[in-house]
Amino acid sequence: MIYSELKIFEEILKITKEENLLLLACNGCAEVCKVSDDKSISEIEEKLKTNGKKIKRIIKIDFMCNKNLIVRKLSRFINDFSDNFGILVFSCGIGVQCVSNVIEKPIYPATNTIYLGGFQGLWPGEERCAECGMCYLGITGGICPITFCTKQLINGPCGGTNNGKCEIDSEKDCGWALIYEKLKRIEKLEILKEYQEPRNYKLCEPTGKIRKKIFYDVDKNEEL
Amino acid sequence: MEISKLQKKLNEGKFVITSEIGPGKGTNLEFLKEADELKDKVDAINVTDLQSSVMRLGSLATCHLLIERGFEPIFQITCRDRNRLALQSDLLSAYVLGIRNVLCLTGDHPILGDHPESKPVFDLDSVSLLKVASMLMEGKDMKGNQLDGSPHFFLGAVVSPGYEPLELQIIKMEKKIEAGAKFFQTQAVYDLKKFEEFMKKVEKYKVPILGGIVLLKSAGMAKYMNENVAGVSVPDRYIEMMAKAKKEDRVKVSLQIGAELIKGMKGMCQGVHIMPLGWDKYVPELLSLSNLI
Ligand code: SF4
Ligand code: SF4
């Protein structure tokens, strides 16, 4: 299980640049954390509408970390949408990356994936989420700058990128080269020009409340 | 308040020359003699900050020693091994020690140096560091807390004209300018045509750019850089010139190439930044071959 929380609405509004949105909700862990249950989704839907957004569809996917499920659900109509169109994803950071991996459209996380002290879920694919607590996938074309850039940079690449590879390992893709390519393909390069404030490392310590709320309690409740 | 002479000269539209020294590993100050070769010939001297992530004597102390010896230093500061508390504090320290020019860099990863096991910091990056330095200049720390006395710096940054894709490099350059960079030094330039194209693209920012010069020591070094140094491509013509030169002529040929590049750059940018990598003693000759002294 990966734990996520909804971003504050102002941030969701700021990162979703397009007028027409598809809301994509995960029925897995994210639903358990109440970020993608019907109530949360319809609240956000209403607020988006009041702010001039058009909600084209709301789709639920059993597990957003299953790329096949995403493709199966979306392939039929995704190409009907092109102009001024983006996807707002209600899932953990892995789910958002999976959507971005299979759909070449602007993709935005509606959530932040919260640090649980090293507990990572059971994801076998190449996407990684370090639970940074302030998900950046909306400004990077859905490629995680925290886990794909060796220096965890958020304002663009360092000077070390060489032929698309990272300065520390000529076989490791430079995360920022990938981000650049992706943003270029989806015609969103201008996002890179926005200044990103330094990260908030306070979020890298799970609060007592979260420690209790997530799995510590589950442990205790299961009696032999 | 003393202001940066480098800034003053650039403001006057004069072509500037900067060079660079790297502190040694230990307390031996012999390396400062390298700087003596440059006395009165260059406008300012960069002091590298644990170059290549190798632990050495610090840039801050070395800059201070240079000031005592009558030089104007450019304090290189990286985000590799200091968090935001230490970076801000070191910037304040730099100012009270008389340092006026600061070059803000992200820094190499520690894995590339002699302590590869160390914890990489990168709490800030080159852009946010510039922004934070600009805030200090306005009398506030990065949290907005009031400072009792604020520094004044001439802030610089680096840009790599040979970087692929260039568009991405220019986006980052733009961010650095918005964050407060007032001058740029470039990665080593060997291809004047490419450099000219780059200059045309960035002219609109009206920020002084100092073209980077690294003297080739051998054909092997050129080939190594082509393969391993991001954004550097030495044309075959120069590699051949170096390969053909007899051992005793190598310095001469290398200086010829350097002078050709500097002369070419003169009409294109606002200054040169010479990184001698130990060949400091040849810098005066290079400058005279380039008709700069
Ligand atoms: S930016 Fe990366 S590490 Fe942070 S929450 Fe998003 S996916 Fe996870
Ligand atoms: S080379 Fe790329 S991935 Fe590696 S640290 Fe620099 S920006 Fe990050």
- DSSP character string of B168-209: HHHHHHHHHHHHT--EEEEEE---HHHHHHHHHHHGGG---E
Beta strands in B36-72 (DSSP E): 44-47
Q: Of the bound ligands, which one is closest to the alpha carbon of residue A65?
A: 1
Q: For A151, which of B106, B128, B158 is closest by C-beta distance?
A: B106
Interatomic CA distance for residues B76 and B107, integer angstroms: 10
CATH topology of domain A3-142+188-215: Rossmann fold (3.40.50)
Task: Tell which one of A2, A99, A101, A131 to mutate to probe ligand 1, the residue whose CB is within 8 A of the most ligand atoms.
Answer: A131
Kindly report the protein residue whose alpha carbon is nearest to atom 7 of ligand 2: A157
Question: CATH number, domain at B197?
Answer: 3.20.20.220
Give the pLDDT band (50/70/90) at residue A6.
very high
**A182: its two tokens:** 């992706």
Mean pLDDT confidence for B63-87? 97
- Domain spans of chain A, in order of start: 3-142+188-215
Ligand 1 neighbours, Cβ below 6 Å, are A 93, 112-113, 129-132, 135-137, 144, 146-147
Quick check: helix, strand or coil at residue A165? strand
Share of chain A above pLDDT 70, in %: 93
Residue that is written with structure tokens 């054909």 in the block:
B219
Interatomic CA distance for residues B74 and B60, integer angstroms: 10
Residue among B101, B120, B125, B117 at smallest CA distance from B44: B101
A75-98 pLDDT, tens digit each: 888 888 888 999 999 999 999 999
B82-98 pLDDT, tens digit each: 999 999 999 999 999 99
**B61: its two tokens:** 């102390």
B17-64 pLDDT, tens digit each: 999 999 999 999 999 988 888 999 999 999 999 999 999 999 999 999
Q: Of the bound ligands, which one is closest to the alpha carbon of residue A174?
A: 2
Q: What atom of ligand 1 comes closest to residue A133's alpha carbon?
A: 5
B112 by Cβ neighbours in 10 Å (0-12 / 13-18 / 19+) ranks as middle
A24-63 pLDDT, tens digit each: 999 988 887 888 999 999 999 999 999 999 999 999 999 9
Interatomic CA distance for residues A162 and A170, integer angstroms: 8
Mutate to test the interface with A, among B109, B111, B177, B228 (most CBs of A within 10 A): B109
Give the pLDDT band (50/70/90) at residue A220.
low
- pLDDT for residue A31: 81
Q: Of the bound ligands, which one is closest to the alpha carbon of residue A158?
A: 2
Between helix A93-102 and helix A67-74 the angle, nearest 10°, is: 50
Is residue A217's pLDDT more than 60? no
Interatomic CA distance for residues A99 and A71, integer angstroms: 9
Quick check: helix, strand or coil at residue A25? strand
Residue that is written with structure tokens 């030089």 in the block:
B71
Is residue A222's pLDDT more than 80? no
Q: What atom of ligand 2 comes closest to residue A156's alpha carbon?
A: 7
ipTM for this prediction: 0.91
Is residue A224's pLDDT more than 70? no
Mutate to test the interface with B, among A150, A161, A181, A182 (most CBs of B within 10 A): A161
B178 touches chain A (CB under 8 A): yes
B148-187 pLDDT, tens digit each: 999 999 999 999 999 999 999 999 999 999 999 999 999 9
- pLDDT for residue B230: 86
Contacts of B30 (CB under 8 A, 6+ apart): B24
Domain count, chain B: 1
| B233 alpha carbon, distance to own chain's centre | 18
B53 touches chain A (CB under 8 A): no
- pLDDT for residue B1: 57
DSSP A115: P
Interatomic CA distance for residues A162 and A140, integer angstroms: 20
Expressed as residue numbers, the domain containing B22 is 5-289
Interatomic CA distance for residues B129 and B84, integer angstroms: 8
Mean pLDDT confidence for A102-109? 95
Interatomic CA distance for residues B58 and B47, integer angstroms: 9
Report in angstroms the alpha-carbon separations of A159 from A153, B73, B111, B162, B276: 12, 23, 15, 11, 20
Mean pLDDT confidence for A144-153? 97
Share of chain B above pLDDT 70, in %: 100
B120-133 pLDDT, tens digit each: 999 999 999 999 99
Q: CA of B159: which chain A residue's CA is closest?
A: A159
Cα dihedral angle (B110, B111, B115, B119), rounded to 10 degrees? 60
Please provide the average confidence, as pLDDT, over all residues in chain B: 96
Interatomic CA distance for residues B187 and B202, integer angstroms: 15
Interatomic CA distance for residues A7 and A202, integer angstroms: 16
Residues of B in contact with A167 (CB under 8 A): 108-109, 112, 230
State the amino acid at position B138 in one-letter form: E
- pLDDT for residue B199: 98
A90 touches chain B (CB under 8 A): no
B118 touches chain A (CB under 8 A): no
